[in-house]
Amino acid sequence: MTPPSNDPPKILSAEDCRAIDALLEAGLVDGDDAVHNTSESPESKRKTAALSLLRKLEAYPVKEPDALLVDATMALIAREERARRDRMEIHTPAWGKRTQWADFGAVAAVALIATGVGWPIAQRMRAAALEQNCANNLRTVGSSIAAYAVDHRGNLPATASLGGLFETPTTSKLDWSNYEHSGHLLLLERNGYAKHDSLHCPACSALPACGTFSFRVPNAKTPFRLQAMGRTPLVADANPIIHMRRVGNKAQLTTTASQCSLNHEQRGQNVLFADVSIIWLVNPVINGDNIYLPDGVKDFQSLPLSPQATAVNDIFLAQ
């Protein structure tokens, strides 16, 4: 093997470069002709020398590449291609293979948060829907009462038993356990002014004993006529005090604030006024008068066992 020379590398001159470029442009044809050309011009000599050198390079023996080296190179290329495709795709781990307990914990945490936030919202939306449906029913009752009054000389619906309120009742024949004042509203159903479902609050389904809406109790000196009521409460959600009196449970009625109707979980009650307007009251007291207690009664414990006519201008809604 010839040892490497310490001589500086030879650099082609500009004339040699032009001669090689001419050979390449001509497809080495001119170079072949140059071998047989007798011209001794410097350019012809350069072409002949360059062509001779190129032929020596072509004839230089080259070993066949190692098969293992080729396979290793191709495997490396394939691996790089797979890595490139993986970086461009999103892989979801198969359940039971790559899923970890941390994944289950994250899902459980999201579910708990969604339940904690979503459940109260759903409950409040349901309660709001029931309040609205209750108001719609009261609106129907108001229209029915107005139509009834027109057909009955302005009188409000009242059954024959209403006269017992103006007499001295006895507990044996008249008390809250067997007297249903809201039965006067059933005249609207019996006479075709309203359907039975409209006489109830839709939220009252969980309280079978609450019956229909509470209806105004008349007093002894004021005609029981729609025009005489002015703008005062006429119908409202079921009276919670009378309901508790009937079922024997008074624990929930310890304060005035808690004496709201049970129809809406004591958040408040819809009230229909005699002018057919409907208002949601968060407290059953209007101008110091509790609409669920008769005049002179301060709390549920003082409610008389027997229903009686109210004093003049007293607002008392019973059922």
DSSP-assigned states of every residue in 166-183: GS---TTTSSTTT--GGG
Q: Hey, what are 74's tokens?
A: 């191709």
Quick check: is 253 in a domain?
Answer: yes
- Are 49 and 153 found together in one domain? no
Sign for the pseudo-dihedral over CA of 71, 74, 79, 85: negative
Q: For residue 73, what pLDDT is reported?
A: 80
Residues 6+ apart with CB under 8 A from 189: 195, 196, 199
The residue type of 98 is R
Domain closes at, from 6, 22, 57: 57
- Are 46 and 177 found together in one domain? no
Quick check: is 122 in a domain?
Answer: no
Q: How many domains does the chain have?
A: 2
**Tokens 């019973």, residue located:** 318
- Are 28 and 168 found together in one domain? no
Q: Which alpha helices (H) appear in 165-220, and where do they start and end?
A: 186-190
φ, ψ of residue 290 to 5 degrees: the values are -80, 120
- Are 177 and 300 found together in one domain? yes
Quick check: is 116 in a domain?
Answer: no
In tens digits, what is the pLDDT along the chain, a chain of 319 residues? 445 555 555 677 788 788 777 777 776 654 444 444 445 677 788 778 777 777 776 666 666 666 777 777 888 888 888 888 777 665 555 555 555 665 667 777 777 776 666 667 777 788 888 899 999 999 999 999 999 999 999 999 987 655 445 444 444 455 666 777 777 888 899 999 999 888 888 887 655 556 689 999 887 777 888 888 888 999 999 888 887 777 765 555 555 556 888 888 888 999 999 999 999 999 899 888 889 888 777 766 667 666 666 667 788 888 8
The residue type of 305 is L
- Are 191 and 301 found together in one domain? yes
Query: Residue 163: helix, strand or coil by DSSP?
Result: helix
Quick check: is 48 in a domain?
Answer: yes
Domain that holds residue 40: 14-57
- Are 21 and 160 found together in one domain? no
Q: Which helix (H) or strand (E) holds 233?
A: strand 233-236
**Tokens 């209007």, residue located:** 286
Other beta carbons less than 10 A from residue 182's beta carbon: 21
Quick check: is 273 in a domain?
Answer: yes
Other beta carbons less than 10 A from residue 286's beta carbon: 15
φ, ψ of residue 65 to 5 degrees: the values are -70, 150
**Tokens 């607002």, residue located:** 315
Quick check: is 9 in a domain?
Answer: no
Quick check: is 5 in a domain?
Answer: no
Q: How far is it, in rounded angstroms, from Cα 83 to Cα 201?
A: 67
- Are 187 and 52 found together in one domain? no
Q: How far is it, in rounded angstroms, from Cα 316 to Cα 310?
A: 7
Quick check: is 186 in a domain?
Answer: yes
Q: Hey, what are 263's tokens?
A: 């129809």
